[in-house]
Structure 1
Amino acid sequence: MNISLHGKSAIVSGSTAGIGFAVAFGLAEAGANVVINGRDEGRVKRAIKKITDKLPGARVSGVVADLGTVEGVKKLIAKEPEADILVNNLGIFEPKGFFEISDEDWQHFFEVNVMSAVRLSRHYAQGMKVRNWGRVLFMSSESALQIPTEMIHYGTTKTALLAVSRGLAETLAGTGVTVNAVLPGPTRSEGVGGYFEKMADEAGKPVEELEASFIAEHRSSSIIKRLATVEEVASLVVYLASRQASATTGAAMRVDGGVVRSIA
């Protein structure tokens, strides 16, 4: 299968590192004009350079904006009013016990993880509908289906994204716009990697040992018995953004290493 996104424009929120960066790289590699997003100008510039160094001729630009705020979304839309592909990747996580999660924590997680995607999708999907072609993708998580007790607020926001994704897909029924959610499992992203590195330093153990222990204790249903790579997750996203995926919409697509014990 030859996936070509030449002539298509893509926006990936929260894409200076981790899964978001891998998705941006994959879309650029397929020929799309890609907009990188992050809150820090230096990180945005480094991400663009990293892609263009490896993909000479790639069309990549950046917008520095905090999309977890209304103002940040408005800034992005003002600079990039249209897109053919929107990947709602921006998200935060934090292990914290339920009784320690404050109202402010809940509100912050919803603003960043859910409302950023709602606001961006509300704007860009309308243009896609007019042009009768588009792809809207929500980065959810296996935690949407199996709520982790160590971060219930995170899991709840990822479940909310499944509802938004399905509802928007049905709203756009009969158009050339598809809407899907992607559910990664434990993935060696920058944030997760940093979390394990900190734990390894504190415990005086190798990172690999901590990762294996986490899978065994907290995600024992994993079939691959390891963390996924960001590239493995990005490959599914790039396919769903392609012309070849035109009959896939309203779906929750898992790339979770088999963590979710379900055949559907």
Structure 2
Amino acid sequence: MHIDLTGKSALVTGSTEGIGLAVARGLAEAGAAVIVNGRTAAKVGAAAASLGSNVRGVAADLGTPEGHAALVDAVRAADIVVSNLGIFQPADFFDTDDATWDRHWQINVMAGVRLARAYLPAMEANGWGRFLLLSSESAFNIPVEMIHYGVSKTADVALARGLAKRMAGTGVTVNSVLPGPTLSEGVEAMLEEERARSGWPIAEVAADFVTTHRPSSILRRAATVEEVASMIVYLASPQASATTGAAIRVDGGVMETL
């Protein structure tokens, strides 16, 4: 299968590192004109420069309505939107205050809501589009160490399903993608203390985390960001035209449900 996105424009949020950067790279390699996004001009500029000449960047904090407005002002339309921006913060439920819940909701859920309102109408008018929301296997396996995160990711799955139904018959597909444990910079930071203590390579530390804390994993290791990005690039392609309203797993088999 050859994925050709020549002539398509793609916006990937939270794309200065991790899964987002890998997705931006994959879309650019498939021929799309890519817009990368992050909060700081320095990181956005570095990410865009690393991906080639058909990539530009927009610095905007999409956790706020003001940041969203700045992005839309800079990017009026896109054929493909990947709402990748997200945060996670381990904390016991009884230690998680309203501010933490609200921050996760604004960044993990409302950023996607605002993007959908901004970009889906033009996709519908054009008769083609791809809108993808990054959820997580935590949407179904709510992690006890960060219930607030799991709830926000469940909302992303519901949002994608509802939006797909709203876009029915338009040529626009909407899906959510559910990665499992993935060796992104954020996960590396979370595991750094254990890496320093054990002296193991980070991939081994991540594999130990997966087998200990996600024992249902069939893969028995963390996925790479490129493995997750490959699924997203496919879902953004013309070849995925019959896939919509779906919650697509890239979870290494962590989810026990059939």
Q: Name the TM tier (shorter chain).
A: over 0.9
> How far apart, CA to CA, are the structure 1 residues paired with 2:171 and 2:165?
12
Structure 1 counterpart of 2:170, from 169, 172, 175: 175
Cα pair distance change 1:87/1:208, threshold 3 Å? closer
TM superposition shift of 1:156: 0.5
- The residue aligned with 2:149 is 154
Please tell me whether residue 193 in structure 1 is matched to residue 188 in structure 2.
yes
Q: Report SS of the residue matched to 2:138.
A: helix
> How far apart, CA to CA, are the structure 2 residues paired with 1:210 and 1:234?
22
> How far apart, CA to CA, are the structure 1 residues paired with 2:248 and 2:198?
37
- The residue aligned with 1:43 is 43
Cα pair distance change 1:208/1:235, threshold 3 Å? closer
Deviations 1:136-190 (A, max 9, x none): 0000000001000000000100000011000000001011000000000000001
Q: What is the correspondence of 1:253-264 to structure 2 with a 5 Å cutoff?
A: 253-263=248-258
> How far apart, CA to CA, are the structure 2 residues paired with 1:93 and 1:140?
12
Please tell me whether residue 83 in structure 1 is matched to residue 83 in structure 2.
no
TM superposition shift of 1:208: 4.1
> How far apart, CA to CA, are the structure 2 residues paired with 1:160 and 1:41?
30
Please tell me whether residue 135 in structure 1 is matched to residue 148 in structure 2.
no
Letter in 1 for 2:18: G
Q: Report SS of the residue matched to 2:152.
A: helix
Conserved 8 A contact 2:183-2:206: no
Conserved 8 A contact 2:211-2:221: no
Letter in 1 for 2:72: I
TM superposition shift of 1:48: 1.1
Runs of 4+ residues over 2 Å off in structure 1: 198-201, 207-210
Please tell me whether residue 100 in structure 1 is matched to residue 100 in structure 2.
no
> How far apart, CA to CA, are the structure 2 residues paired with 1:212 and 1:238?
25
Conserved 8 A contact 2:219-2:253: yes
Structure 2 unaligned regions, length at least 5: none
- RMSD (Å), alpha carbons: 1.0
Identify which range, 136-145 or 210-219, moves more after superposition.
Answer: 210-219
Please tell me whether residue 32 in structure 1 is matched to residue 32 in structure 2.
yes
Please tell me whether residue 236 in structure 1 is matched to residue 231 in structure 2.
yes
TM superposition shift of 1:80: 0.5
- The residue aligned with 1:116 is 111
- The residue aligned with 2:64 is 69
Conserved 8 A contact 2:203-2:222: no
> How far apart, CA to CA, are the structure 1 residues paired with 2:229 and 2:207?
22
Equivalent pairs counted in the alignment come to: 257
Conserved 8 A contact 2:184-2:224: yes
Structure 1 unaligned regions, length at least 5: 53-57
TM superposition shift of 1:210: 2.8
> How far apart, CA to CA, are the structure 2 residues paired with 1:123 and 1:49?
26
Normalised by the length of structure 2, the TM-score is 0.97
Conserved 8 A contact 2:208-2:221: no
Cα pair distance change 1:69/1:222, threshold 3 Å? same
